[in-house]
Amino acid sequence: MDQLKLNITSETSQLGIVVLGIADSPGPVPTLENVYDPKSWENIQNGTYPKETDMVMEMEAFNKVFLKHGVEVLRPENIENCNQIFTRDIAFVIDDYLFKSNILPLRESELQAINYIIAKINPEKVISLPENVHVEGGDVMMWKDYIFIGTYKGENYADFITARTNLQAVKFLTEFFPNKKVVDFDLIKSNTRARENALHLDCIFQPVGENYGIIYKDGFRDKSGYDFLVSLFGIKNLFHITQEEMYNMYSNVFSIAPDIVVSEKGFTRLNTWLREKDILVEEIPYKEISKQEGLLRCSTLPLYRYE
């Protein structure tokens, strides 16, 4: 069996291999007590929760863009009555290590669905995190020699089902990668108000291109995190989104390369800005999937990017 090589040192360098989630057989509309983000709760309440057929169509549009650009696409094994769209949550790669996330108990089967992929990786490069280390891939970003980590520093961390990455994860990754600059960001959280909830770091910030970024200023509970990114990227290189655009997941696009970004077709203001920066924008429909408080980056688990 050929061994699967890993390499992720950037959010935007040329993509080689990715695990893309699947929307098949997600099961019935969840009950309110079984959802773990406020946007899904809101859409269940309103009778607007997405249909399987629409989500499958949207994910296939994403898959076609990957194939168009020569990316190798792997998919999870299908588990009946299980939402398997958001592969970003279940694992993440830094350098040539794959870290298995300690995810919500309701979602443990999602990780089992990619065991056949993990089996192709050198076991010494697969890291199972200590039980007290909580982290999801949406909170972890590579940027040059930095690792950015979204977290929640409030003493009431345990009260938020939307708090997915704790300070123990920041400490663990800082010690694991002593030669990288680990920077943590304290995010706003709400269990009930989607417009006041940064579920993950990629819901309020993401690098694009060589030196640009998309950012929502009011998503940072500690504004020093916002100030740090402004100083690092430069105010003119950051596309500031509104609260409504944050709610619609504008910062959760996905880079296939520095000059290729996959974006939702309705993100007119953002897509225009990206094109002004000489970035090719591959527009696809993804509005239905966004009703579960996740979008394009959330649906991917990149395994290999070229340097």
Report helix, strand or coil for 86.
coil
**In the prediction, which pLDDT does 199 show?**
86
Residues in the chain: 307
Instruction: Indicate the DSSP class of residue 236.
Output: G
**In the prediction, which pLDDT does 1 show?**
59
Closest CA to 247 of 261, 267, 222: 267
Whether the Cβ atoms of residue 273 and residue 208 lie closer than 8 Å to each other: no
- Total Cβ atoms within 10 A of residue 232: 17
**In the prediction, which pLDDT does 245 show?**
97
Residue 216 vs residues 19, 22, 63, 103, 196: alpha-carbon distances, Å: 27, 28, 28, 25, 11
Compute the distance between CA of residue 191 and CA of residue 197 in angstroms, rounded to an integer: 7
Indicate the domain borders of the chain. 15-203+286-305
**In the prediction, which pLDDT does 31 show?**
83
Where does the chain have alpha helices with state H? 38-46, 52-68, 108-112, 115-118, 167-176, 223-233, 243-247, 268-276
Residue 158 vs residues 40, 80, 152, 153: alpha-carbon distances, Å: 20, 30, 10, 11
User: The pTM is what?
Assistant: 0.95
CATH fold of the domain at 15-203+286-305 = L-arginine/glycine Amidinotransferase; Chain A (3.75.10)
Regions of the chain short of the pLDDT cut 50: none
Instruction: Please give the angle made by the CA atoms of 187, 157 and 224, to the nearest 5 degrees.
Output: 30
- Residues 113-136 have pLDDT tens digits of 999 999 999 999 999 999 999 999
Compute the distance between CA of residue 291 and CA of residue 49 in angstroms, rounded to an integer: 7
Compute the distance between CA of residue 191 and CA of residue 187 in angstroms, rounded to an integer: 13
Measured in Å, how far apart are the chain's first and last C-alpha atoms? 25
**In the prediction, which pLDDT does 35 show?**
74
The Cβ-side half-sphere exposure at 99, using a 13 Å CA radius, reads: 26
Which CB contacts under 8 angstroms, 24+ apart, belong to 229-233?
229/205, 233/207
- Residues 26-53 have pLDDT tens digits of 988 888 777 768 898 789 889 999 999 9
